[in-house]
Structure 1
Amino acid sequence: MNVFLIILGVLALIVILSSFVTVQQGNVAVTTIFGKYNRMLFPGLNWKIPLIEKVFKKISIQNRSVELEFQAITVDQANVYFKAMLLYSVWNQEEETLKNVAFKFMDERSFMQALVRTIEGSIRGFVATKRQAEVLGLRKDITEHVKEQIDKTLEEWGFHLLDLQMNDITFDEVIMKSMAQVVASNNLKAAAENEGQALLITKTKAAEADGNAIKIAAEAERQAAQLRGMGVALFREEVAKGMTTAAKEMQQANLDTSVILFSMWTEAIKNFAENSKGNVIFLDGSSEGMDQTMKQMMAMNKLMQTKMEK
């Protein structure tokens, strides 16, 4: 009798203990009675009907993430490998949504398989219309395309897409090497073009500098020639004034003014001899030559006197 009571007490204790269920924070439990949905149990200590009511599934209402890897083929038959990160959560905590999450799939493995295949199919359908060279530049477009399609599907399953990121897009090793070669050749081409542009600019600047130097030198030469001309003109003017004054003084002293021309002629010969640097000047030293020279100087003297009288 005592043994029976002990056994009965143990069974009663087991039944009492099994009638309490603890649900962790961030989770919701779904219960069934004889295989049919009954109710939801929320975080904390919950009571259920012993032996009849069972916890069918505990659903996490927290954000969940999963990393995905899959392959697609472009229109030009290039294999593309994707690595993505998917962030999702239960749509809301309403009873119908939670029931959909609990009973839509047999287990978590079936759900993940369906999720991966759906995303993979969406990406494959998009990539199949693009060329290999376009795929890397369409990362954002691929992500937006998948988000638009997968979000609708997840809502039907009771989930909500929070974020989708394409972390890595790669190709076969041969294609990766060829792409690297293309990038390297483009960089070399750009470097050569930049070097050519730099050389062209250097030569252009040098030509401009030479042109400016020539202009400056020409302007300086022009100004120097102008100053030399002014100097010669002033020199001649002063010489003419001096000769006029000397001629007037000699006339007042009743002297022949041709002596001035003869003096200038002899001074010129002296200057040639003193300042000569190798040049040869031939002068007629004969009596006929001297006579002709004196006649020329007298003619010049008369011309000067005529100008003075005027």
Structure 2
Amino acid sequence: MILLQDNNGGALFNFIKDFWWLLILLFIIFSGLFTINQGYVGVVTMFGKYRRAARPGLNFKIPLLEQVMKKISVQNRSVEMEFQAVTIDQANVYFKSMLLYSVQNTDEETIKRVAFVFISDRDLMQALTRTIEGSIRAFVATKRQSEILGQRKEIVDYVKDQIDHTLEQWGYHLQDLQINDITFDKAIMDSMSKVVASNNLKAAAENEGQALLITKTKGAEAEGNAIKIAAEAEREAARLRGQGVALFRQEVARGMSEAAEQMKQANLDTNVILFSMWTEAVKNFAEYGRGNVIFLDGSADGMENTMRQIQALMVKHAGTSANGNDLVKN
């Protein structure tokens, strides 16, 4: 019985010992597993020396010997910058800009440079911003204050050309540089505003003068055309009035001639026609005089004198009509 107990105790001890060894082995194996998130690349070192780059997903490292020194983001990163520069004519220029950059690529050599060029991301940011600020200051120092506002694109192109090689040595690439705001000292801004305002006033005055000139010219042309049209209309109206008067006189003469002929055939005095015309004229004066006073000689001598004048006019008009008819016939 004692021997059986000793054998069972030894078997249990061996089982427990094997179990602990199995747990230790499993712990060592699982401690070598690690994951890298998408958008990052892990840097694996052994005894402080670079070994390899770990890609996104599940990875394995030698337990207790290898370690993941850092995880490098390969995504785009941005930073805002505010700084001052001085132009060649000693004007202070204030810039607000946004920098967009990223790791150049995920090649082995690039990841190695990115991992060991700078101690930390803070040092990278400081070096990157100071480099860009220095490039912009060098460009602005060769330009005048009046030239800066219109050269945003030239500034960006100059900076990219100057620092692309430097960033490549660091393992980074400048994606974009946007200059959002360019300002000057208040005194310069006020003077620039006055210049712009005066130029606008000058342009407005010139435009107003041109508009007034065009208005006057068009008005004169319109007035001339109106006068011309009115003159043409007046001439046509006068011609039509003359034709109407002539036709009226012809009809009156024809009617009077016919009336006189009929009265002769009836052995009546033709002066009755003249008397009728005179009385009709007096009637029209009374109806359409519009309050005007017309003095007529109503005596027998006055009436006889008026009759003689009317007869003379009719004889003259009859002779004129006869001559005109002869001319037409000829």
Q: Displacement, 1:73?
A: 1.5
Residues 36-89 of structure 1, C-alpha deviation per residue, up to 9 Å, x if partnerless? 4333344445323636x5655442223222222222122322211222222222
Provide the residue aligned with 2:5 in structure 1.
Answer: none
Q: Displacement, 1:172?
A: 2.1
Query: Could you say what the CA RMSD is over the residues aligned between the two structures, in angstroms?
Result: 4.7
* Other structure's SS at 2:149 match: helix
Q: How does 1:116-195 map to 2 (within 5 A)?
A: 116-183=129-196
Residues 93-147 of structure 1, C-alpha deviation per residue, up to 9 Å, x if partnerless? 2111112222323443332222112211221222223332332332233223323
Residue identity matched to 2:151: L
Unaligned runs of 5+ in 1: 1-8
Q: Is the 8 A contact 2:260 2:273 kept in 1?
A: no
Tell me which moved more, 193-202 or 129-138. Answer: 193-202
Q: How does 1:224-303 map to 2 (within 5 A)?
A: 224-252=237-265, 259=271, 263=275, 266-267=278-279, 270=282, 274=286, 277-279=292-294, 294=308, 297=311, 301=315
Residue identity matched to 1:176: M
Instruction: Flag the 1:21–1:166 CA change in 2: closer, same or farther, 3 A.
Output: farther
Q: Displacement, 1:240?
A: 0.9
* Other structure's SS at 2:88 match: coil
CA distance in 2, matches of 1:45, 1:118: 37
Residue identity matched to 1:102: A
Instruction: Flag the 1:305–1:84 CA change in 2: closer, same or farther, 3 A.
Output: closer
Residue identity matched to 1:172: D
Instruction: Flag the 1:165–1:248 CA change in 2: closer, same or farther, 3 A.
Output: same
Tell me which moved more, 272-281 or 81-90. Answer: 272-281
Residue identity matched to 1:46: F
Provide the residue aligned with 1:5 in structure 2.
Answer: none
Provide the residue aligned with 1:62 in structure 2.
Answer: 75
CA distance in 2, matches of 1:57, 1:125: 36
Of residues 71, 85, 108, the one that matches 2:121 is 108
Q: Displacement, 1:263?
A: 3.0
Q: Is the 8 A contact 1:262 1:294 kept in 2?
A: no
Provide the residue aligned with 2:90 in structure 1.
Answer: 77
Tell me which moved more, 187-196 or 91-100. Answer: 187-196
Q: Is the 8 A contact 1:31 1:40 kept in 2?
A: no
CA distance in 2, matches of 1:235, 1:100: 117
Provide the residue aligned with 2:60 in structure 1.
Answer: 46
Q: Displacement, 1:236?
A: 0.4
CA distance in 2, matches of 1:55, 1:302: 136
CA distance in 2, matches of 1:104, 1:20: 27
Q: Is the 8 A contact 2:28 2:63 kept in 1?
A: no
Instruction: Flag the 1:222–1:264 CA change in 2: closer, same or farther, 3 A.
Output: farther
CA distance in 1, matches of 2:112, 2:200: 58
CA distance in 2, matches of 1:291, 1:88: 120
CA distance in 2, matches of 1:147, 1:58: 27
CA distance in 1, matches of 2:99, 2:319: 118
TM value normalised by structure 1: 0.69
Tell me which moved more, 111-120 or 129-138. Answer: 129-138
TM value normalised by structure 2: 0.66
Q: Is the 8 A contact 2:43 2:115 kept in 1?
A: no
Q: Displacement, 1:229?
A: 2.6
Q: Is the 8 A contact 2:275 2:307 kept in 1?
A: no
Q: Is the 8 A contact 2:29 2:63 kept in 1?
A: no
Instruction: Flag the 1:155–1:244 CA change in 2: closer, same or farther, 3 A.
Output: same
